[in-house]
Amino acid sequence: MKIGIIGAGIAGLAAAVRMAAHGYEVDVFEANPYPGGKLSEFRLGGYRFDAGPSLFTMPMYVDELYRLADPAKTPPLSYRRLDVVCHYFWEDGVRLHAHAAPEEFAREAADVLGVDPQAILRALADSRRKYELTGRTFLERSLHRPATWLSREVGSALLQLPSLDIFQSMHQVNQRQLQHPKLVQLFDRFATYNGSNPYRAPGILNIIPHFEHHFGAYFPQGGMHAITDHLYRLALEGGVRFHFEQPVSEIQVEKGRASALVVGERTLRYDRIVSNMDVFFTYRRLLPGQKAPERILAQEKSTSALIFYWGIRKEFPELGLHNIFFSEDYREEFDLLGRGRISDDPTVYVNITQKYESGDAPAGCENWFTMINVPYNSGQDWDALIARSRKNVLDKLSRILGRAIEPLIEEEALLDPRTIESRTNSHLGALYGTSSNDRMAAFLRHANFSSRIEDLYFCGGSVHPGGGIPLCLLSARIVDQLMHD
């Protein structure tokens, strides 16, 4: 069987590894000169930066691909578990280290914030309960096949529907369970993991803390790009053929079946086609004349990101791999994002891989991946917004860290919604496709297959089950399941 895959993002790579493991002949076509999509890397002077996703959870999905590939030469991905998941900072001087172990996290919060440690343990237990009731079914299986809904697991989840908090927002649930404003804000931020608003997203998304505080957060040796490199090597060893700088211009459909890809002047026939391209552009660019699912394509988009990559001529021992500097008014920050604007007091995320990979920066220096959430691109004056946001971010970091940051910057690069869209074909620069602000959002994402076009499948962050490395890997697994049911 011949499989054609459009896009070498993380889901496309995972699909290629899976298809090759079945013994299929696999071609992957990628518009960029490199694999990985958002999960790429680059260098500035003596600094190395991961360009995109910076958090690694659920490594078992990568390990699963390694076992499937059974490689002769490629070693397994090497990674280490983080003892402290994230370092949190507030303007009033409060600092909290979120330990991965729930008991240590609860003790630290009790010491720093004066909260009842049992409240945190109960919240994390509730996160676990929600995941065990719904996660494996709704994240690991297609929601668009009747067999999923006839399973015992779904029946059990439906019986407990009121306790899953789908009719309350994440913020309402966190406020009820945790009460302390800083702790509520800390747990609210998990909504940003899929580009959503905690004041609108349903409370069932409070399963997300379970990923970090049960499965754990990890750092792959060599940085996040090591994940891309690992899957690419597995695919190559499995016989997958990669065609870089060769964008697909059309998916040909004959008698209701996806039958060929048009690449340059060539028309290449395949038995099955998998699109790792954003589902919006798959329909708009590659399927001329085919009826598109307009209601799905018109759904509200997730937030985007503004990222400053800074080479910093100093080490900050108080910072870790993951660092969050919270805004004073979280609700206003998200209200503004929903109106296509950026707060003058944004929450700032700083990722520093030099903390675990000393070679990622010169001696005595750090590589700062500095990000704020911003709206998707709807025609804003981005040049003005970027200049204003840069000043606000630098002012905030300087205040909280007690040191002027701008004079320490010796290298700088930028990624904004416009360049996210142009480099990765993410519609409007949205990082996670559609948002999860609607309680039915999980069921409204595009399926991993076409209901109208036979032998056409979809993977990646714009379709079920969503964005982020674990879910993109699961989308490839679901495609594999659908092909072989």
Query: First-to-last CA distance in the chain?
Result: 16
pLDDT at 150: 65
Domain count within the chain: 1
Distance CA 191, CA 415 (A): 22
Distance CA 191, CA 184 (A): 12
Strand partners, 456: 273
Q: Which domain holds residue 114?
A: 101-215
pLDDT at 442: 56
Confidence label for 443 from pLDDT (cuts 50, 70 and 90): low
Determine what percent of the chain is predicted with pLDDT higher than 90. 87
pLDDT at 137: 74
Kindly tell me if the per-residue pLDDT of 23 is higher than 80.
yes
Distance CA 315, CA 308 (A): 18
The more confident residue out of 459 and 299 is 459
Does 15 map to a domain? no
Instruction: Indicate the burial class of 124 (C-beta count within 10 angstroms; 0-12, 13-18, 19 or more).
Output: buried
Distance CA 368, CA 354 (A): 9
Determine what percent of the chain is predicted with pLDDT higher than 70. 97
Does 320 map to a domain? no
DSSP states along 390-452: HHHHHHHHHHHHTS--GGGEEEEEEE-HHHHHHHH--GGG-TTSB-S-STTHHHHSBPSB-SS
pLDDT at 423: 93
Cα dihedral 212, 201, 394, 371 in deg (nearest 10): 60
pLDDT at 438: 76
- Mean of per-residue pLDDT scores for the chain: 94
pLDDT at 164: 85
Structure confidence by residue, pLDDT tens digits, 314-343: 999 999 999 999 999 999 999 999 999 999
- Extract the tokens encoding 169: 């927002």
**Half-sphere exposure at residue 390, Cβ-oriented, CA atoms within 13 angstroms:** 17
Cα dihedral 7, 8, 12, 14 in deg (nearest 10): 170
pLDDT at 444: 76
Confidence label for 99 from pLDDT (cuts 50, 70 and 90): very high
Does 419 map to a domain? no
Range 147-162 average pLDDT: 69
Kindly tell me if the per-residue pLDDT of 206 is higher than 60.
yes
Write the CA distances from 293 to 279, 283, 290, 347, integer angstroms: 10, 9, 10, 35
Q: Which alpha helices (H) appear in 70-200, and where do they start and end?
A: 102-113, 117-130, 136-140, 146-149, 152-159, 170-178, 181-188
This prediction has a pTM of: 0.95
Kindly tell me if the per-residue pLDDT of 161 is higher than 80.
no
Cα Rg of the chain (Å, integer): 22
Residue 98 near residue 84, CB atoms below 8 Å: yes
Does 179 map to a domain? yes
Does 135 map to a domain? yes
Strand partners, 218: 56, 81
Q: Are strands 348-351 and 41-44 parallel, antiparallel or unpaired?
A: unpaired
Kindly tell me if the per-residue pLDDT of 274 is higher than 70.
yes
Distance CA 398, CA 396 (A): 5
Strand order in the sheet with 2-6: 241-244, 25-30, 2-6, 272-275, 456-458
Structure confidence by residue, pLDDT tens digits, 353-406: 999 999 999 999 999 999 999 999 999 999 999 999 999 999 999 999 999 999
Residues in the chain: 485
CB count in 10 Å sphere of residue 295: 8
Does 77 map to a domain? no
Kindly tell me if the per-residue pLDDT of 485 is higher than 90.
no
Per DSSP, the three-state class of 456 is: strand
Confidence label for 441 from pLDDT (cuts 50, 70 and 90): low
Does 394 map to a domain? no
DSSP states along 135-166: IHHHHHS-TTSHHHHTSHHHHHHHHTGGGGTT
pLDDT at 440: 64
Give, in degrees to the nearest 5, the angle at Cα 196 between 190 and 201: 85
> Using DSSP, how many helices (H) and how many strands (E) does the chain show?
18, 20
